[in-house]
Amino acid sequence: MTQYRLTPLADALPSTVPFVGPETQERAMGRAFDARLGANENVFGPSPRAIEAMAQAQQWMYGDPESHDLRAALAAHHGISPANIIVGEGIDGLLGYLVRLMVTEGDAVVTSDGAYPTFNYHVAGFGGVLHKVPYAGDHEDPTALFAKAAEVDAKLVYLANPDNPMGSWHEGPVISSALEALPKGCLLVLDEAYIDCAPEGTAPDLVADDPRLIRMRTFSKAHGMAGARVGYAIGAPDLITAFGKVRNHFGMNRAAQAGALAALQDSDWLARVQARISEARDRIAQISEDNGLVALPSAANFVAIDCGADGSFAKAVLDGLVARGVFVRMPFAAPQNRCIRVSCGTPDNLDAFAAALPGALEDAKKG
């Protein structure tokens, strides 16, 4: 009988799924959700130009392993050099490559308790040791993160701005000022997945060659291309070059590259989507208020709603919504887990949420 010879590290790890997909839940329920409002997808979709470009892509050919045209367009968009940009299979894929480059068994890494779990998943997969700091008033705390990094001699510190799962944000100068305390030899992983949904000035004004940080961006959110898996990172050229040592050079499919390039060039569509996201955030806040709940201010394409009790109550509300055909998620660490998290949706999506929420709350109160 064959005996699989996993590495000791892999053998010791749990079989972890960072997020249970809505499709998995639909299969278990035996029906589709009426409103898919849990994965922070952009239900308004990609630019029609992107759809056309993806349809016309010559899929019998491999994608350009250098993503040359997309990198050149991104460089022009940001006013930097293509040498500052690496394109990859979403931010998740780029995080995996970065951790593989930087972290080995026993290396210290710092993050916030309750922040994006996929980063933690990669760190555990390469044997890193996670050190966590709490949120401060539902915001990630750059000062505490960088102080912990100095304390444990961390190689990486992860910070999302705007934040997932709370939707909170810091103005750019706050990040720039706090960065002065980042210890030497530590790299800030600045996840800016939601930056296109945020107020002007949220992105710190830092040069692309700054060796202290790498910035992660995506086409999954405001550009509506989550299924295509297109992300990119901005960093110093020597760090960007290092990705070539470990990345899947043919990981980017040709249609995704073409779609992202077309999406980047359609600023009118992006502006339209940004307006619809803003309208949806306002509608979610109103639905929350109508039900005696508090919607937290958000700079993302979702809203965290304070259910007014503890994590058990919020989970009961979530379960009630799921049972009524509305897919949402919630933070997993206290005290943020007092909230549910609702993605921006179409008017019909949010009508379904508004119809389901009163019953879900009633069930949770009885529970």
SS3 203: coil
In the structure, what pLDDT confidence band is assigned to residue 2 with cuts at 50, 70 and 90? low
Q: Are residues 181 and 280 in the same domain?
A: no
**Would the pLDDT of 200 be above 80?**
yes
Q: Are residues 99 and 195 in the same domain?
A: yes
**Would the pLDDT of 326 be above 80?**
yes
Q: Are residues 259 and 190 in the same domain?
A: yes
Nearest to 314 by CA among 296, 298, 329, 299: 329
Q: Given the structure tokens 């259910």, which residue do they identify?
A: 307
Q: What is the pLDDT of residue 207?
A: 97
Nearest to 313 by CA among 286, 340, 285, 343: 340
Q: What is the pLDDT of residue 314?
A: 98
Q: Are residues 31 and 104 in the same domain?
A: no
Structural domain including 73 reads 48-265
User: Domain for residue 3, yes or no?
Assistant: no
Digit-coded pLDDT (tens) for 62-119 = 999 999 999 999 999 999 999 999 999 999 999 999 999 999 999 999 999 999 999 9
Q: What is the pLDDT of residue 283?
A: 98
**Would the pLDDT of 18 be above 90?**
no
Strand 187-191 vs strand 213-218: parallel, antiparallel, or unpaired? parallel
Which segment of 19-33, 140-154, 239-253 scores lowest on mean pLDDT?
A: 19-33
Q: Output 235-242 pairs: Cβ under 8 A, ≥24 positions apart.
A: 235/84, 235/86, 235/208, 236/84, 236/208, 236/209, 236/210, 236/211, 237/81, 237/83, 237/84, 237/209, 239/187, 239/211, 239/214, 240/83, 240/84, 240/85, 240/86, 241/83, 242/101
User: Domain for residue 4, yes or no?
Assistant: no
Written in H, E and C, the secondary structure of 36-65 is ECCCCCCCCCCCHHHHHHHHHCCCCCCCCC
Q: Report the number of distinct structural domains present in the chain.
A: 2
End-to-end, the C-alpha distance of the chain in Å comes to 50
Q: What is the pLDDT of residue 3?
A: 78
Q: Which of 208, 235, 265 is the last residue of a domain?
A: 265
User: Domain for residue 2, yes or no?
Assistant: no
Q: Are residues 23 and 167 in the same domain?
A: no
Q: Are residues 227 and 287 in the same domain?
A: no
Q: Which of 265, 297, 319 is the last residue of a domain?
A: 265
Q: What is the pLDDT of residue 330?
A: 97
Digit-coded pLDDT (tens) for 289-322 = 999 999 999 999 999 999 999 999 999 999 999 9
In the structure, what pLDDT confidence band is assigned to residue 15 with cuts at 50, 70 and 90? confident
Q: Are residues 79 and 188 in the same domain?
A: yes
User: 144: part of which helix (H) or strand (E)?
Assistant: helix 142-152
User: 77: part of which helix (H) or strand (E)?
Assistant: helix 68-78
User: Domain for residue 9, yes or no?
Assistant: no
**Amino acid at residue number 32:** A
Question: For 5-43, b where at least 16 C-beta lie within 10 A, e where not — what string?
Answer: eeeeeeeeeeeeeeeeebeeeeeeeeeebbbbbbbbbbb
A 10 A CB-CB count for 359 gives 13
**Would the pLDDT of 1 be above 60?**
no
Q: Are residues 216 and 345 in the same domain?
A: no
CATH number for the domain that contains residue 281? 3.90.1150.10
In the structure, what pLDDT confidence band is assigned to residue 367 with cuts at 50, 70 and 90? confident
Q: Are residues 217 and 239 in the same domain?
A: yes
Q: What is the pLDDT of residue 20?
A: 86
Which segment of 14-18, 150-154, 188-192, 284-288 scores lowest on mean pLDDT?
A: 14-18
Q: Are residues 247 and 154 in the same domain?
A: yes
User: Domain for residue 1, yes or no?
Assistant: no
Asked if 85 and 239 count as a contact pair (C-beta separation under 8 A), the reply is no
User: Domain for residue 94, yes or no?
Assistant: yes
Q: Are residues 35 and 175 in the same domain?
A: no
**What percentage of the chain has pLDDT greater than the value 70?**
99
Q: Which of 221, 247, 265 is the last residue of a domain?
A: 265
User: Domain for residue 160, yes or no?
Assistant: yes
**Amino acid at residue number 350:** L
Q: Are residues 177 and 293 in the same domain?
A: no
CATH number for the domain that contains residue 92? 3.40.640.10
In the structure, what pLDDT confidence band is assigned to residue 154 with cuts at 50, 70 and 90? very high
Digit-coded pLDDT (tens) for 231-286 = 999 999 999 999 999 999 999 999 999 999 999 999 999 999 999 999 999 999 99
Rg (CA), the chain: 21
